[in-house]
Amino acid sequence: MRTATRRRYLMCPPAYFDVAYSINPWMDPAKPVDRAIAMAQWERLRDTYLAHGHAVETIEPVPGLPDMVFTANAATVVDGSVLLARFRHAERADEAAAYRTWFHHHGYADVREPVLINEGEGDFVVAGPRILAGAGFRTDRGAHGEAQEIFGLPVISLVLVDERFYHLDTALAVLDDNEIMYYPPAFSPGSQKLLRQLYPDAIVATDDDAAVLGINAVSDGRHVVLPQAARHLVAELRSRGFEVTGVDVSELLKAGGAVKCCTLELR
């Protein structure tokens, strides 16, 4: 029997969600966005976390910041210490100030300003005793050392090579302290070899899983929430004893985000 650990998450309602620019291959401003559908999908995701016994904090969305719904990119939080994001693209840069204010107003005493570009839990994935860190498109590789100094955990650098999987959390998800699922073609050959050594029993996603950002998932050690269209991953997870909830995030996918992108864990 797998054991769930109660978590605290930070989420942001998609009140101003839109695809007004293109900073990743999923985004096409010519395709219309239905904000009401996006809100309904987001609410279903939040309610799923609450039903699993987790706590969900929310931050007020800011007009003109359509990607603020993707809270995972805002920071990395470990043992109450916060490393804020420094966004690569100007379109998202103003999100950092909104999140900085939220952390200060909610009692976080150790809030660090980054020196180098990092995009929070988009590229820093906490995996038990280590942090898996992505580089190649958004986060500077030098920021991996910055995170290691702040959190005192070993940081394993992984190189992303497919621009569709521009953040680590679009290509890899932690299921518990020692288990992951990932999509090998998103990584450089050396990073693939390293992942095979670290996680020989990992669940390997298919091309179809990757095409719906199925790896962009959240696990509490027992319950896994992921895009419902990732049917292969759903079956694999259930075969390993996880309880799986598939959710529809098709509207949010238009901006290149899914379940994990909307979820920042407050450790």
Residues with a catalytic annotation lie at 167, 261
State the Cα–Cα distance between residues 144 and 256, nearest whole angstrom.
Answer: 23
Has residue 63 been placed in a domain? yes
State the Cα–Cα distance between residues 22 and 14, nearest whole angstrom.
Answer: 18
Has residue 179 been placed in a domain? yes
Both tokens of 78, joined, read 């470990």
Cα 234–chain centre separation = 18
Has residue 244 been placed in a domain? yes
Taking only the tens place, the pLDDT of each residue in 152-186 is: 999 999 999 999 999 999 999 999 999 999 999 99
CATH of the domain at 97: 3.75.10.10
Percent of the chain whose pLDDT exceeds 70: 100
Q: Evaluate if residue 110 carries a pLDDT over 90.
A: yes
| Confidence at residue 219, expressed as pLDDT on a 0 to 100 scale | 98
| Nearest alpha carbon to residue 18 among 72, 74, 65, 87 | 65
| Confidence at residue 21, expressed as pLDDT on a 0 to 100 scale | 98
Q: Evaluate if residue 90 carries a pLDDT over 90.
A: yes
Q: How many domains does the chain have?
A: 1
Has residue 207 been placed in a domain? yes
Has residue 3 been placed in a domain? no
Contact between 19 and 29 (Cβ < 8 Å): yes
Has residue 158 been placed in a domain? yes
Domain with 205, as residue range(s), is: 8-265
Has residue 2 been placed in a domain? no
Q: Evaluate if residue 262 carries a pLDDT over 90.
A: yes
Has residue 1 been placed in a domain? no
| Confidence at residue 252, expressed as pLDDT on a 0 to 100 scale | 98
Both tokens of 155, joined, read 């940081």
